[in-house]
Amino acid sequence: MEELTEEDLENLHEIYGGKKYPDCEAMFNNAGSSYVDYYFCYVSALQYIFVRNYNTRETVKKISLMHFPTKLCIMEYNKIAIEAGLETLSKIGIASLVAVGTKEGKVLIYRLDSNEAKLLLKTKSGVVYGSVTALSIQDNGQNFIAASTTGEIHSFQLM
């Protein structure tokens, strides 16, 4: 690991000002996707999911959640649409299914493309006790698994 210089430490302190975030995560769209320039990220203290283009270093989309995120799971939407026989394939820009676990134990699932972020599914609070700690989309979007801090594991059928 590279040691930080005094100047680097000053810059970090100036940017973040001693703020402490207990959890943050960034993840790239699935390997093999044609949208590898984009990554999705969150900070648990903020109620947003950010979609960034790492080549241009720009935030291309900011999704307001109204919930505090604790986990992300991403899948290319076109793979799911082809498997399910849907006609609504996205031909341009980002086309992802984004699952977000929250501090309140909710799971939010969005269809995200370059034009909009559409909420497809939202579970009720308390379906999963505690905050969501793990998410997985299985079988090309057919099944969905969520785990919580209390050790519960829930399985849902998405299609």
- What is the phi-psi region of residue 63: left when phi exceeds 0, alpha when psi lies from -120 to 50, beta otherwise? beta
- Residue 116 belongs to some domain of the structure: yes
| Count of structural domains, the chain | 1
Q: Is residue 79 part of a domain?
A: yes
3-state helix, strand, coil split of the chain in percent (to 5) is: 15, 45, 40
The values of phi and psi at residue 2, to 5°, are -80, 135
**Tens place of pLDDT for every residue, the chain, 159 residues?**
457 788 877 876 776 666 666 667 777 665 445 556 777 888 878 888 888 877 888 888 888 888 888 888 888 776 766 666 655 555 556 678 888 888 888 888 888 877 788 888 888 776 778 888 888 887 776 788 888 888 888 887 766
The domain that contains 117 carries what CATH number?
2.130.10.10
Q: Look at residue 102 and tell me if it is in a domain.
A: yes
Asked, for residue 105, whether it belongs to a domain, the answer is yes
Prediction pTM value: 0.70
State which residues form the domain around 111.
21-157
pLDDT at 131: 86
Residue 72, domain member (yes or no): yes
Q: What is the pLDDT of residues 37-78, one digit of tens each?
A: 777 888 878 888 888 877 888 888 888 888 888 888 888 776
- Amino acid making up residue 47: Q
Q: Is residue 2 part of a domain?
A: no
Whether residue 28 is contained in a domain is answered as yes
Within-domain flag for 153: yes
